[in-house]
Each structure stands twice: as structure tokens, then as C-alpha cells.
């Protein structure tokens, strides 16, 4: 089963999901033992396919650190924190966390886009 470790201990994901924000980006950083990479990828793929069917889901992309890194980063876009909250709290999703290998540590965090003139287009 995956272990959850807050990316920001001051504002963990369980607090973030109660904010009403639209849209949101989930960034989830995974660390895993090298021998458990195939199990991590299989569990993530199953979760991503399930999330893809949930209301408010827009897209996802998994990334892997280079040069032999065993760190992975998922970037997923949701219509709102409310949509993500519903999927994240669903009993089926919670049960799916048991499929992850024991060495897997996930650090999920929600973000919103910022507007910075001439650089970033916000919501």
C-alpha cells in the first residue's frame, strides 16, 4: 500500500481538497524502490484509467526522473477541487491504494495557475 507524505506539511492534501477552487492541477510525486517500479506503473495505470472516468477529470501525464531516478511525477488537471475531492474520497479509489508496492511513497498536492504578465496565463 502506498504511503502518503505531504508535499507541504502545513497544508496537506486532506486540507486542500476542502478549498473551492476551479480549475486545479494535481501534482503527485512518487518515490519507489527500483525493483518496485513495474508494480508502481501498473497500479498508477489502473488508477489513471479509473480517474479518467470520473466527472471533472481533464487530463493526466506521468513523468519519470532521468538518469536512473526512481522518482515519478504525475500531473493531472481537474475542472475543480470539488470534482477531485469526490474522486479522491471514493471508496473504490481508496481500495486501489492497496495495489501500490510497499516501498511507494506519494506526495500529492493541489495547485492553481497564476497569472504573471508576459509569462503565465492564469485561470
Query: In this predicted model, what pLDDT tens digit does every residue of 30-53 receive, in sequence order?
Result: 999 999 999 999 999 999 999 999
Predicted structure pTM score: 0.92
Say if residue 100 is exposed, middle or buried (CB neighbours under 10 Å; 0-12, 13-18, 19+).
buried
Residue-averaged pLDDT of the chain: 96
Using alpha carbons only, how large is the chain's radius of gyration in Å?
A: 15
- CA separation (Å) from 71 to 18, 33, 76, 109? 28, 9, 17, 16
What is the C-alpha to C-alpha distance for residues 117 and 56, in angstroms, rounded to an integer? 28
Q: Helices (H) and strands (E) in the chain — how many of each?
A: 4, 5
**From CA 104, how far away is CA 100, in angstroms rounded?**
7
Is pLDDT above 80 for 88? yes
Q: Which domains does the chain have, with CATH numbers?
A: 3-111 (3.30.70.100)
pLDDT tens digits along 2-38: 999 999 999 999 999 999 999 999 999 999 999 999 9
Amino acid at each position: 500500500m502506498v504511503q502518503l507524505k505531504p508535499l507541504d506539511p502545513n497544508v496537506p492534501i486532506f486540507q486542500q481538497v476542502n478549498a473551492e477552487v476551479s480549475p486545479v492541477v494535481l501534482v503527485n510525486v512518487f518515490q519507489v524502490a527500483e525493483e518496485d517500479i513495474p508494480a508502481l506503473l501498473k497500479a498508477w495505470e489502473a488508477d489513471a484509467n479509473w480517474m479518467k472516468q470520473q466527472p471533472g477529470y481533464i487530463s493526466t501525464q506521468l513523468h519519470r526522473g532521468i538518469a536512473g531516478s526512481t522518482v515519478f511525477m504525475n500531473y493531472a488537471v481537474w475542472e475543480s477541487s470539488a470534482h477531485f475531492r469526490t474522486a479522491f474520497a471514493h471508496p473504490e479509489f481508496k481500495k486501489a491504494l492497496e495495489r501500490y508496492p510497499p516501498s511507494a511513497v506519494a506526495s500529492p498536492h493541489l495547485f492553481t495557475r497564476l497569472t504573471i504578465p508576459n509569462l503565465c496565463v492564469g485561470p
